[in-house]
Structure 1
């Protein structure tokens, strides 16, 4: 049985029961293997842009006796994925700019039947902005501590609506003001990065975001 790190476990816990799960950027295919072994997904597509990670995934599939339940596929993001192949979709462990680009260019994701579970490593604000501008509603946000690192997991579904958001929302979303240890750690991480950016370049956008976050935390 596959055991996941806190980061991947946080992603797994955001995935709903499904016939088919799609993992973009699967690496070792630990996530789809875990979901199938725990009865959350009946089968899965594990995709990656490079062949070498798929070799790792192939070993996982063999070791866990999941041949026939996990399909391995070489794909640059969603380019070799067809609509209607899966209803629960994860994009984890990638930079936020790359995830945002996928959201901006994959039109068929704009359907409420898909749940997107996104775990950006950087540029969280760009992911939230791309979701909002493309009509996706963020339905949940969770954080996970793994050693000294803290990770963000966003769940979203297409609603067709865009909303004007305060500055803090793009950086901390619903987490500002939370008392959960990992949420506090994430907000502090964002504040530290914005402070460094403002002090280094005088970036006004960073200053406005900092003020907005502090205001949200106090409310």
Structure 2
């Protein structure tokens, strides 16, 4: 005879669905993963921009050394094409390919096509400077002076790289790359700046982390 006894003390079958605590844990995990992904992407972008700046500074320095060998002087590479000015302060308008204060400074700037360099600054064409890419993350300038000509007082990074009397003995130049890693704008104090000089290819960096 079959027993009519029902066990009411045994384990119950698990109910389908998630509890509120489980859902909160899932949300927290998703937020953590998204944060890690965003951080990793930001680091990748920063490395790409820094690699561009390193390559451009090396090329600008090499072009200047070739130029002085032919013309016995370094040439300022400036967006305003001040060919008659052997030195200048570090105004935003002198950087190329775009003013660092532009609203789009945090994105790639499309310079004139390498296939059609007519729109590039005259000074860049004079030294044969043509970046490998027509899109640049950073913006650039070379300030230069003749022997006996000091770095101008308004050139903050020039004085930090060469000293106020940096150009009193020999012709000199220093090249700067300004990279807006954080999208804050405002040259020169609020962006990451990298620089080399006529007598040193070692890159010095300023405003790191910006």
Q: Which has the higher contact order (CA 8 A, sep 6+)?
A: 2
TM-score tier (shorter): under 0.3
Q: Tell me the TM-score normalized by structure 2.
A: 0.24
Greater strand proportion: 1
Larger-gyration structure (1/2)? 2
Greater helix proportion: 1
